[in-house]
Amino acid sequence: MNLRIRNSRARELARQLAAKRKISMTRAVIEALESELKRESARAPLAERLAAIAANLRRKQARVVGS
């Protein structure tokens, strides 16, 4: 099965990754997509990330006020 990428930028990025890894463009695209899906799945939801930032800021503010 041939990979047909019509977008010139996407095609060039796939070509560059394939060349660096010495693999086919199809394999490069599959690996890149798998990597991104894994990264996305491991990422905490926005609400959790914002809650952690807010908690961190509250702790810092409490230290400054308590000094």
Q: Is residue 2 part of a domain?
A: no
pLDDT category of residue 31 using cuts at 50, 70 and 90: very high
Q: Is residue 38 part of a domain?
A: yes
Give me the number of domains the chain comprises. Answer: 1
Residue 43 has pLDDT above 90, yes or no: no
Rounded Cα distance between 43 and 33, Å, is 15
Residue 66 has pLDDT above 80, yes or no: no
Range of the domain at 45: 8-66
Q: Is residue 3 part of a domain?
A: no
Q: Given phi > 0 = left and psi -120 to 50 = alpha, else beta, which region is 28?
A: alpha
Q: Is residue 12 part of a domain?
A: yes
**pTM of the full structure:** 0.64
48 or 67, which is more confident = 48
Show the tokens assigned to 10: 């996407």
